[in-house]
C-alpha cells in the first residue's frame, strides 16, 4: 500500500474514531484547540493536518515560508476545522506570549501545544560562532520552555491539556552532523520529564515525539550543505531503514493529544523505523 493510500484511510479513521455516549462516532479531537509551531511544512505540516483530520482547530505558527504555512492552513480548513497562520520568530523572547495571545483570541483557549519548530544549520563545532549556537538554543530549547510556561493557565482550564514536544532521535544519540542541534534536542528530553512531573497534578500530560529520517521539504532558506561523509552515512541509513513521512509523526501526535493517552506522560516515542538500532 502506498503512503498516499495509508494517509487516505488514516484520515477517514480519524474523522470517525471516537464513540460518543450516544453511540455515534466523532473525530478524536473534535472541539480541541491546538498550537503547532513550525506547522506549515515538513513534520509540522504532517502534524497539523492529522490534528485537523481528527477535528482539532489549529493555529499554525511559522517564520519564513509563510506561503507554505497558508497553504497548509487552507488544507486544514478543507477538513472542516478552523485554521489560521501566525508569523513569529521563536528566537525572540517575546514570541511565546504573542503566540499564546493570538491562539486565545482566535481559538478561545488552548488544549494542545505542539512545539515542533527547530533550527538546524548543520555545522561542525569549530564552524559554530557563539551567536549561531545561541540562535539554535533559543529556537530549539528556550522557545519550548517559554511556550509551555505561557500555555499553562489555559492548559489547566482545558481539563485535558496536552503538551507534545517534537524532539529527535538525536536527542538520544549523536547526530554526527550538528552538535548544537543534537545538544538542544537532548535538553528537550529533560525538559519533558521535569515538566511532566510538575504538571501532572494539573491533568496536563507532556510527551515527546522523536522522529528519525523523514522526507520533508527543503529545511530552510539557507544553503543546506553537508560534508560528503555525512551524506554517505545518511544515504546508508535511508537504504536500510527507509524514510518516514511527516504523517507518521502526525498520527502519533493525534494519539498523544487525545484522551486515549491520558495515562501517558513524561514519555519519548521514536518514529524512526528502527534506525537507532543501527
> Burial of 97 by CB count in 10 Å (0-12 exposed, 13-18 middle, 19+ buried)?
middle
Q: Residue 217 has what pLDDT?
A: 52
Mean pLDDT of 88-103: 97
Mean pLDDT of 187-193: 93
pLDDT bracket for residue 212 (50, 70, 90): confident
- Residue of 11 and 1 predicted with greater confidence: 11
Give the tens place of pLDDT for each residue, 23-45: 556 789 999 999 999 999 889 99
pLDDT for 236 beyond 80: no
pLDDT bracket for residue 221 (50, 70, 90): very low
Q: Residue 146 has what pLDDT?
A: 98
Contact 15, 21 (CB under 8 A): no
Does residue 263 have an active-site annotation?
Answer: no
Task: Provide the mean pLDDT of the chain.
Answer: 84
Among 219, 216, 214, 230, residue whose Cα is nearest residue 179: 230
Q: Count CB atoms within 10 A of the CB of residue 106.
A: 16
pLDDT for 91 beyond 80: yes
Q: Residue 168 has what pLDDT?
A: 77
Q: Mean pLDDT lowest for which of 54-63, 86-95, 181-190?
A: 181-190
- Residue of 216 and 114 predicted with greater confidence: 114
- Residue of 143 and 221 predicted with greater confidence: 143
Give the tens place of pLDDT for each residue, 99-136: 999 999 999 999 999 999 999 888 888 899 999 999 99
Q: What are phi and psi of 84, to 5 degrees?
A: -150, 150
128, 154, 181, 263: the catalytic one is 181
Q: Residue 222 has what pLDDT?
A: 44
pLDDT for 187 beyond 80: yes
Q: Which CATH class is domain 3-277?
A: alpha beta
Q: Residue 226 has what pLDDT?
A: 47
pLDDT bracket for residue 237 (50, 70, 90): low
pLDDT for 224 beyond 50: no
Give the tens place of pLDDT for each residue, 153-184: 999 999 999 999 998 776 566 666 688 888 99
Residue boundaries of the structural domains of the chain: 3-277
Angle 152-156-157 from CA coordinates, rounded to 5°: 120
Among 60, 31, 30, residue whose Cα is nearest residue 44: 60
Q: Residue 275 has what pLDDT?
A: 63
Amino acid at each position: 500500500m502506498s503512503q498516499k493510500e495509508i494517509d487516505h484511510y488514516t484520515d477517514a479513521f480519524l474523522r470517525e474514531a471516537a464513540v460518543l455516549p450516544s453511540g455515534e462516532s466523532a473525530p478524536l479531537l473534535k472541539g480541541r484547540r491546538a498550537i503547532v509551531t513550525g506547522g506549515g511544512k515538513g513534520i509540522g505540516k504532517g502534524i497539523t493536518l492529522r490534528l485537523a483530520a481528527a477535528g482539532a482547530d489549529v493555529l499554525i505558527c511559522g517564520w519564513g515560508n509563510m506561503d507554505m504555512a497558508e497553504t497548509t492552513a487552507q488544507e486544514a480548513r478543507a477538513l472542516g476545522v478552523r485554521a489560521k497562520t501566525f508569523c513569529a520568530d521563536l528566537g525572540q523572547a517575546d514570541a511565546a506570549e504573542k503566540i499564546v495571545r493570538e491562539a486565545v483570541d482566535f481559538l478561545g483557549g488552548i488544549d494542545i501545544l505542539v512545539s515542533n519548530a527547530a533550527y538546524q544549520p548543520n555545522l561542525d563545532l569549530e564552524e559554530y560562532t557563539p551567536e549561531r549556537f545561541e540562535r539554535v538554543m533559543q529556537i530549539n530549547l528556550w522557545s519550548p520552555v517559554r511556550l509551555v510556561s505561557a500555555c499553562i493557565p489555559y492548559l489547566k482550564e482545558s481539563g485535558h491539556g496536552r503538551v507534545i514536544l517534537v524532539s529527535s532521535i538525536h536527542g538520544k544519540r549523536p547526530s554526527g552532523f550538528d552538535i548544537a542541534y543534537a545538544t538542544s534536542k537532548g535538553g528537550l528530553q529533560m525538559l519533558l520529564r521535569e515538566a511532566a512531573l510538575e504538571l501532572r497534578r494539573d491533568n496536563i500530560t507532556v510527551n515527546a515525539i522523536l522522529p528519525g529520517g523523514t522526507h520533508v521539504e527543503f529545511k530552510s532558506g539557507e544553503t543546506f550543505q553537508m560534508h560528503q561523509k555525512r551524506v554517505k552515512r545518511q544515504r546508508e541509513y535511508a537504504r536500510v531503514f527507509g524514510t518516514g513521512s511527516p504523517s507518521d509523526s502526525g498520527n502519533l501526535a493525534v494519539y498523544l493529544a487525545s484522551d486515549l493517552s491520558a495515562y501517558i506522560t513524561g514519555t519519548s516515542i521514536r518514529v524512526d523505523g528502527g534506525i537507532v538500532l543501527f
